[in-house]
A and B are shown apart, each in its own frame.
Chain A
């Protein structure tokens, strides 16, 4: 009988396996052992090696658990927060309002006193902007008590890059990057005439559009007016905002954007630039490492996004890349802080930066960075980020703005239309 064979052949061995599937008890946070949850797949080995060394040096046991990708990690941390099962050290991925919510529900320890102890020895070693990402100051919009709530372990910022070989090919000076928007367009025309593809960025990920647009908003109207727009005091239909939006129309008119970049994820955009299929890119400092892996022979330079107006400084997004928070309810708060102090001390930061080619958060451990990475590090002072502003824009308005930019880039809407749409939504949100 075939049926007998079918079920006995498949089911019996499987049932036997079922018996093997035993249970295992969970060990939660225990006193004396530090449990750390992280999401950084590419830094897992380096972190593990450092943790092992710390255990050897101090006797404090560190247990690392990796949950990736970051979406899965964020879900896990949120779920654990609801069940009071957060580990001793964890990261809060998301916007500053998310961090604020973790803090106000009593999950995150305030590190201000640890930071300022010994004349602020710990605090001083960090890039100012790195710490600013995790700092809440007086009068912040989320009503969080003043303090420092996270330890940055690396920093990033986002700038523009250009391909020196392609510059040479078009007869441009590969050591002279455009500094102003007009120079940028002029260079591009020359590149275009030589048949070289233009500018690429992962603008399918709308936050990168937001970042680019914000850089120019700060340049065109200055920080105060941008924030006043968020406050609802300046409308998006203001000529300055139209000016910012018009840049994207100019990009479209000049055919500056590599075909398809408007829906590209950043990893694809990185492949494009790394393989010499774009003269310019807009990307974060992590790209140095990405490009090196994909094309070791790529000659590229770093430039600030070319400024439109001279009297306001060009600002770029940057700050802490990854940060760790200490669980306020853990029995190991002090031990956790000690471990993080050790992890962000110069020798460990040098090691971590070397193993992963990221910019260290500790500004005393820059050491000998490769020139492109040094170019990123040197602009840390020009950085800003929504997490450092006293208030942020409503996320649905931001989304409408970014999506509107995509519409401009594909020629579906004009800057004025987008500005009107966004302003309408902004009013609606304010009414609620």
Chain B
């Protein structure tokens, strides 16, 4: 494993460095730096070893995607001598990824937006507003997360047929929004609960109504949690497959995972193409996470609290 050579240290306590430090202070500074370096070394060693375990399957997947069906499980090296880049082209075309990509983009966006809107409003009400039946409703709503309903696919299908939502985009989107609500409400309520009340009180005194306070004060403060929710739901929808099979029939409505199915026959799995397809399919989701993680960590210290 590569050990970090360019360790940097966080700024020492800003005690105001004197122009000519005393010897005692210098000794203290050396000891302090030494401790810091050791701590950093171990921190990095730990993080890097975990990171290596996370990267290994990714690297294996990419290298497998460049092999052939006959070399993928016989030549286990991660460096591919004769990479078959055309696998990516075949995966894209044979999996009809162009069309499926667009569909998945629509589904993911709609579900993420829907979950964030609906869950945040409900979570805000559960956290900040008082109304009869609040606790029981909260428990009911988040209980969907706790009760796995195995045979519910039949009931769901019957319902969708009655609502004329079978084989429609809406019929695929709405159950998934519902599926994301429990986690969303729970997560956002936890974060709303933690937010300082003063800001909202101030806004209310300034004449904002409940909805304005929610939209302009609470939501911006909850940005990290909203970003987390967006990332989680996007991943769930992007990987969703079974519901799509149940609800949709037209190929033109199918999501991305349907494209990956092409390479997984009941008997033969075309592993290199499958790996190439999976590699393609995780790019958007990683990109989204990469864009969102800024908001996950750019929390309230940077923004609102300093107002």
Contact = CB atoms under 8 A, between A and B. Distances in A.
Interface string B96-123: 0000000001110110111000000000
Nearest to A17: B109
Contacts of A267: 269
A67 B242 CA distance: 10
Interface in A270-317: 271, 274-275, 286, 289-290, 293-296
Main secondary structure of the interface of B (DSSP, over half): helix
Contacts of B265: 40-43
Contacts of B105: 17
B166 A70 contact: no
A275 B73 CA distance: 8
A317 B109 CA distance: 49
Interface string A32-73: 000000011111100000000000000000000111111111
Contacts of A17: 105-106, 109-110
A296 B170 CA distance: 47
A26 B168 contact: yes
Contacts of A42: 265-268
Interface string B103-147: 001110110111000000000000000000000000000000000
B59 interface: no
A72 B45 CA distance: 44
Contacts of A271: 73
Interface stretch (A76-84, A140-148, A255-263, A383-391): A76-84
B207 to A, nearest CB: 19
Interface stretch (B84-92, B185-193, B243-251): B243-251
Interface in B8-28: none
Contacts of A76: 245-246
Interface string A154-185: 00000000000000000000000000000000
Given A3-B220, A21-B106, A41-B261, A82 B267 contact: no
Contact of B266 (A3, A6, A15, A70): A70
A23 B114 CA distance: 17
A68 B264 contact: yes
Contacts of B153: 75, 79
Interface in B23-54: none
A335 B69 CA distance: 41
B214 interface: no
Contact of A82 (B157, B220, B230): B157
Contacts of B158: 79, 82-83
A23 B250 CA distance: 12
Contacts of A79: 153-154, 157-158, 246
A289 B154 contact: no
Interface string A1-27: 011001100110011011011111110
* Residue in A10, A20, A39 with the greatest tally of chain B CB atoms within 10 Å: A10
Nearest to A93: B266
A395 B14 CA distance: 72
Top 3 nearest A-B pairs by Cβ distance?
A42-B265, A3-B220, A79-B157
23 contacts: A2-B298, A3-B219, A6-B220, A7-B219, A14-B110, A24-B167, A24-B168, A26-B168, A40-B266, A41-B262, A42-B268, A65-B249, A66-B261, A72-B242, A79-B153, A79-B158, A79-B246, A82-B157, A82-B158, A83-B158, A267-B269, A289-B267, A294-B70
Given A17-B109, A24-B253, 14 more contacts: A2-B302, A14-B109, A18-B110, A18-B114, A20-B106, A24-B169, A41-B262, A69-B266, A72-B242, A79-B154, A79-B246, A83-B158, A293-B70, A294-B69
